[in-house]
Chain A
Amino acid sequence: MYRYDEFDHAFVQQRVAQFRDQVSRRLTGDLGENEFKPLRLMNGVYLQLHAYMLRVAIPYGVLSSRQLRMLAHIARTYDKGFGHFTTRQNIQFNWPQLVDVPDILDDLASVEMHAIQTSGNCIRNTTSDPFAGAAADEIEDPRVYCEIIRQWSTLHPEFAFLPRKFKIAVSGADTDRAAVKFHDIGIYIRRDEAGEVGFEILAGGGLGRTPMVAQTVREFLPKQHLLSYLEAILRVYNRLGRRDNKYKARIKILLHATGIEEFRRLVEEEWKVIKDLDYDLPEHEMQRIQAYFAPPPYETLDATSRRFESAKFSNPAFADWAKRNVHGHKQPGYGIVTISLKPIGGVPGDASADEMDFVADLAERYSLGEIRVTHRQNLVLAQVKLEDLEKVFEELVDNGLATPNEGLVTDIIACPGLDYCALANARSIPVAQRISERLADLRHQHDIGDLHLNISGCINACGHHHAATLGILGVDRRGEEYYQITLGGSAFEDASVGSIVGPAFSADGVVDAVETIINTYLGIREDGETFLGAVRRVGIDPFKGALYGAD
Chain B
Amino acid sequence: MVLIKDGAIADDPYVAFEGAQSIDPGQAVSVSLADWQADREAIRAQDAPVALRLPNDAAMEDIAGDLPEFAAIIVEFPTFSDGRAFSQARQLREQFGYQGEIRAVGHVIRDQYLFLHRCGVNAIEVADEKALAAWNTAMNEFSLFYQRTVDRRTPVSALRGRVSGSVS
Direct A/B contact, Cβ within 8 angstroms: yes
A residues at B contact (CB < 8 Å): 5, 7-8, 10-11, 14-15, 18, 22, 35, 38-39, 121, 151-162, 235, 238-239, 243, 273-274, 277-279, 281-282, 284-285, 288
By a CB distance below 8 angstroms, the chain B residues around A158 are 83, 86-87, 90, 115, 118-119, 149
Q: Is the CB of A11 within 8 A of B149?
A: no
Q: List 13 A-B contacts (CB under 8 A).
A: A7-B156, A11-B144, A151-B146, A151-B156, A155-B142, A157-B114, A157-B116, A160-B112, A243-B84, A278-B148, A284-B160, A284-B161, A285-B160
Q: Is the CB of B158 within 8 A of A121?
A: no
The 4 closest A-B pairs by CB, nearest first: A161-B83, A157-B118, A157-B115, A285-B157
By a CB distance below 8 angstroms, the chain B residues around A8 are 156
Partner of A239, one of B81, B87, B148, B168: B87
From residue A38, how far is it (CB to closest CB) to chain B in Å? Answer: 6
From residue A468, how far is it (CB to closest CB) to chain B in Å? Answer: 32
From residue A422, how far is it (CB to closest CB) to chain B in Å? Answer: 19
Cα–Cα distance between A11 and B142 once the two chains are bound (Å): 7
Q: Is the CB of A10 within 8 A of B143?
A: yes
Assess whether B159 is interfacial by the CB under 8 Å rule.
Answer: yes
Cα–Cα distance between A18 and B140 once the two chains are bound (Å): 11
From residue B126, how far is it (CB to closest CB) to chain A in Å? Answer: 14
Partner of B148, one of A18, A159, A279, A288: A279
B109's closest neighbor in chain A, by CB? Answer: A35
Assess whether B37 is interfacial by the CB under 8 Å rule.
Answer: no
Interface string of B77-96 (1 = CB under 8 A from A): 00011111011101100110
Q: Is the CB of B147 within 8 A of A282?
A: no
Cα–Cα distance between A77 and B109 once the two chains are bound (Å): 34
By a CB distance below 8 angstroms, the chain B residues around A282 are 157-158, 161, 168
B121's closest neighbor in chain A, by CB? Answer: A157
* Interface of chain A, main secondary structure: helix
By a CB distance below 8 angstroms, the chain B residues around A162 are 83
Q: Is the CB of A18 within 8 A of B141?
A: yes
By a CB distance below 8 angstroms, the chain A residues around B116 are 157
Assess whether B166 is interfacial by the CB under 8 Å rule.
Answer: yes
B residues at A contact (CB < 8 Å): 57, 80-84, 86-88, 90-91, 94-95, 109, 111-112, 114-116, 118-119, 141-149, 156-161, 164, 166, 168
By a CB distance below 8 angstroms, the chain B residues around A5 are 160
By a CB distance below 8 angstroms, the chain A residues around B144 are 7, 10-11, 14
Known: A11-B144, A14-B143, A284-B161. 7 other contacts (CB 8 A): A15-B142, A39-B111, A160-B86, A161-B83, A235-B91, A238-B86, A284-B166
Interface centre among B57, B81, B109, B168 (most CB of A within 10 A): B81
Q: Is the CB of A161 within 8 A of B156?
A: no
By a CB distance below 8 angstroms, the chain B residues around A243 are 82, 84
From residue B133, how far is it (CB to closest CB) to chain A in Å? Answer: 13
Q: Is the CB of B95 within 8 A of A273?
A: yes
B168's closest neighbor in chain A, by CB? Answer: A282
Cα–Cα distance between A506 and B23 once the two chains are bound (Å): 70
> With A22-B111, A151-B156, A157-B118 in contact, is A239–B84 under 8 Å at CB?
yes
By a CB distance below 8 angstroms, the chain A residues around B161 are 282, 284-285
Interface centre among B90, B112, B149, B156 (most CB of A within 10 A): B156
Q: Is the CB of A157 within 8 A of B86?
A: yes
By a CB distance below 8 angstroms, the chain A residues around B142 are 11, 14-15, 18, 155
> With A11-B142, A282-B168 in contact, is A160–B160 under 8 Å at CB?
no
Partner of B87, one of A7, A155, A238, A285: A238
Q: Is the CB of A154 within 8 A of B146?
A: yes
Cα–Cα distance between A22 and B84 once the two chains are bound (Å): 24
By a CB distance below 8 angstroms, the chain B residues around A7 are 144, 156, 159-160
From residue A37, how far is it (CB to closest CB) to chain B in Å? Answer: 10
Cα–Cα distance between A277 and B111 once the two chains are bound (Å): 27
By a CB distance below 8 angstroms, the chain B residues around A14 are 141-144
B159's closest neighbor in chain A, by CB? Answer: A7
Cα–Cα distance between A284 and B160 once the two chains are bound (Å): 9
By a CB distance below 8 angstroms, the chain A residues around B149 are 157-158
From residue A482, how far is it (CB to closest CB) to chain B in Å? Answer: 33
From residue B160, how far is it (CB to closest CB) to chain A in Å? Answer: 6
Cα–Cα distance between A274 and B166 once the two chains are bound (Å): 25
Q: Is the CB of A288 within 8 A of B160?
A: yes
Q: Is the CB of B147 within 8 A of A157?
A: yes
B149's closest neighbor in chain A, by CB? Answer: A157
B156's closest neighbor in chain A, by CB? Answer: A7
Cα–Cα distance between A485 and B119 once the two chains are bound (Å): 46
From residue A204, how far is it (CB to closest CB) to chain B in Å? Answer: 19
A22's closest neighbor in chain B, by CB? Answer: B111
Cα–Cα distance between A315 and B34 once the two chains are bound (Å): 79
A156's closest neighbor in chain B, by CB? Answer: B147
Q: Is the CB of B146 within 8 A of A152?
A: yes
By a CB distance below 8 angstroms, the chain A residues around B88 are 239
Interface centre among B119, B143, B148, B161 (most CB of A within 10 A): B148
By a CB distance below 8 angstroms, the chain A residues around B164 are 284, 288
By a CB distance below 8 angstroms, the chain B residues around A285 are 157, 160-161, 168
From residue A17, how far is it (CB to closest CB) to chain B in Å? Answer: 8
By a CB distance below 8 angstroms, the chain B residues around A156 are 146-147
B142's closest neighbor in chain A, by CB? Answer: A14
By a CB distance below 8 angstroms, the chain A residues around B166 are 284
By a CB distance below 8 angstroms, the chain A residues around B87 are 158, 235, 238-239
Q: Is the CB of B147 within 8 A of A152?
A: yes
